[in-house]
Structure 1
Amino acid sequence: MTSSSVSAPPCIRIGSAPDSWGVWFPDDPQQVPWRRFLDEVSAAGYEWIELGPYGYLPTDPARLADETGSRGLSVSAGTVFTGLHHGPDVWDRTWEHVAGIAALTRAMGAGHLVVIPSFWRDDKTGAVLEDRVLSAEQWRHLTTQTERLAREVRDRYGLRVVAHPHADTHIDTEENVTRFLDATDPDLVSLCLDTGHYAYCGGDSVELIETYGERIGYLHLKQVDPAVLAEVVADGVPFGPAVARGVMCEPPGGVPALEPVLAAARRLEVDLFAIVEQDMYPCPPDRPFPIARRTRDYLRSCGRP
């Protein structure tokens, strides 16, 4: 057997995202400028990034390719927020939103589209936008419309949809995550397991990987400060203000421990992206870079390249 016929072993590709620089919106005076983000994410030792909120980075593919390529960066995924539990009535405006992001994601050579459910309460004010618990009909809409979206994104753009459980959404706790997985087609819908959000909502990432390993298509690496989490849960604080309190913390100071998560992911023996996200909006512009560099060094100590 020649060396060229031996397939490469599965690997976990580590990256970061605008989120780790306090970027939540396409344009916000509290956020670092996009050129500074690209400069610093590269200098911190990362080679992979996500697009972040659409419009934060340049949306012209040729320009973005120049800007990322000159810094040794490649794109792993784009991200969209959706309210698919509202059913077919929201399909047209959902697709209009998704299509542009999917097109840019594919043009940048990425293979994944991270799909995040809409919030049931406002992430800044805490105003309740809708019932926290979905009806049976809304669950059917959520699962069938997510499958429809995944099929369209795959067929038109060649991207894999990875659904992202998220605090203050309807896909959050272990019960809701497993209900969602059990009701969706594994050939269409995979999971973006965000270790921080899953811990925020009481879940065990290692257990989820070991139980639903074939559904894990993408990882977000993040940790929660248990003391701050206990406070925000007790006070009923919405996600945005909880982040401002520091609920998402710098590894390895929180939970879950990332080394066992990465070990469990390696046992799946599949290629995976593991993108660092430390929610910290808003934050001083000089804060993210040192954290990003220390986090990259920490992940190397966990045995990742």
Structure 2
Amino acid sequence: MDSARRESASRESAPTAPLDRIRIGSAPDSWGVWFAQDPLQVPWPRFLDEVSQAGYEWIELGPYGYLPTDPGRLREETARRGLRVSAGTVFTALHRGPAVWEETWAQVSQVAALAQEMGAGHLVVIPSFWRDDRTAEPIEDRELTAAQWRDLATGMERLGHEVRERYGLRIAVHPHADTHIDTEEHVRRFLDATDPRLVNLCLDTGHYAYCGGDSVRLIETYGERIGYLHLKQVDPAVLAEVTARGTPFGPAVRQGVMCEPPLGVPALEPVLQAAQRLDADLFAIVEQDMYPCPPDRPLPIARRTRAFLRSCGA
């Protein structure tokens, strides 16, 4: 067992204070769901059954159209399994300027409306990939120009305002591998360029580690901007290999770069403790990117992960 795994295992057994400001959930992503429709994914009723069986109360909507989009039906399906919805998720390309606003809003509004109907308070916003998530082919330059950074910042502020005014939701922008908001430098630049009254951050611990970031330091430095958490770990050995080879994110996932807690990095206990010190109510949604995966794989992992997080006080 390497040092990172020994450290995580020792923390797992140590008693911890209750994390009473953290609400734990999971998401379709932890069941290998990346797309609204895909024959490699488990059917949505199985996801709902198993996420409840694993001991979670909160879920995200996942890709729009994977779960039922009729609010009445979705309320019935979630309620009878003891589940509630914390957030919806959208992808945006606002760095491309005002020309993409109408197309962006058409997508955002349908997801935000469903999230609102389900009683959620958040909309997770993921920047568009600069490499295609299916083919791994480059779509555009990896680095934004100064003008594109301005368009990204002003577009996200507009989005934050409109989503709050029309649907009562707060946006949480998700730094993500193979997007333009990924590294510590890019995250700092984005946060410094946007209004904290309109734009918060969804800190995904796995993606931030994948891109070289320190989650605890980000929470301690920009705590007032952390509005939402995704809990995830990376396998450091696989990460070193894919980084050295420049492997795109999709193939890296298929190589197992995202792994089951507490076997990877970052250690989640310090992250949760740092979030608890913010004295704010936060969702912490478990995600383990593993598309595609065998249909019987997710449930045992989800159960073990929920038990691990309970041992951390969450």
Q: Which amino acid aligns with 1:137?
A: A
1:26 maps onto 2:26 in alignment: no
Decide which of 177, 186, 201 is 1:176's aligned counterpart.
186
1:198 maps onto 2:208 in alignment: yes
> The residue matched to 1:206 in structure 2 has which SS?
helix
> The residue matched to 1:254 in structure 2 has which SS?
coil
Residue equivalent to 1:147: 157
1:138 maps onto 2:145 in alignment: no
Runs of 4+ in 1 over 6 A off after TM superposition: none
Q: 2:223, 2:156 → 1: CA distance?
A: 20
Count how many residue pairs are aligned between Structure 1 and Structure 2.
296
> The residue matched to 1:182 in structure 2 has which SS?
helix
1:11 is displaced (CA, Å) by 1.4
1:100 maps onto 2:117 in alignment: no
What are the Cα deviations for residues 3-54 of structure 1, in whole angstroms up to 9, with x where unaligned? xxxxxx9611000000000000001111000000000000000000000000
Residue equivalent to 2:133: 123
> The residue matched to 1:81 in structure 2 has which SS?
strand
1:55 maps onto 2:74 in alignment: no
Residue equivalent to 2:240: 230
Q: 2:284, 2:115 → 1: CA distance?
A: 17
Contact 1:10 1:270 in 2 (8 A): no
Residue equivalent to 2:86: 76
Residue equivalent to 2:5: none
Decide which of 43, 49, 57 is 1:39's aligned counterpart.
49
Q: Which amino acid aligns with 1:256?
A: P
> The residue matched to 2:219 in structure 1 has which SS?
helix
Decide which of 24, 42, 49 is 1:14's aligned counterpart.
24
1:164 maps onto 2:174 in alignment: yes
Q: Which amino acid aligns with 1:67?
A: E
> The residue matched to 1:79 in structure 2 has which SS?
strand
Structure 1: 5+ residue stretches without partners = 1-8
Q: Which amino acid aligns with 1:227?
A: A
1:125 is displaced (CA, Å) by 2.0
Structure 2: 5+ residue stretches without partners = 1-18
What are the Cα deviations for residues 226-252 of structure 1, in whole angstroms up to 9, with x where unaligned? 000011111111111100000000000
1:224 is displaced (CA, Å) by 0.3
Identity value in percent: 78
1:293 is displaced (CA, Å) by 0.2
Residue equivalent to 1:247: 257
**Aligned counterparts, 1:104-115, within 5 A:** 104-115=114-125
Q: Which amino acid aligns with 1:148?
A: R
What are the Cα deviations for residues 189-227 of structure 1, in whole angstroms up to 9, with x where unaligned? 000000000000000000000000000000000000000
Contact 1:117 1:169 in 2 (8 A): yes
> The residue matched to 1:243 in structure 2 has which SS?
helix
Q: Which amino acid aligns with 1:196?
A: G
Give TM-score scaled by structure 2 length. 0.94
Q: 2:309, 2:119 → 1: CA distance?
A: 25
Give TM-score scaled by structure 1 length. 0.96
Q: 1:221, 1:55 → 2: CA distance?
A: 24
1:124 is displaced (CA, Å) by 2.5
1:282 is displaced (CA, Å) by 0.2
> The residue matched to 2:134 in structure 1 has which SS?
coil
**Aligned counterparts, 1:264-303, within 5 A:** 264-303=274-313
Contact 1:124 1:239 in 2 (8 A): no
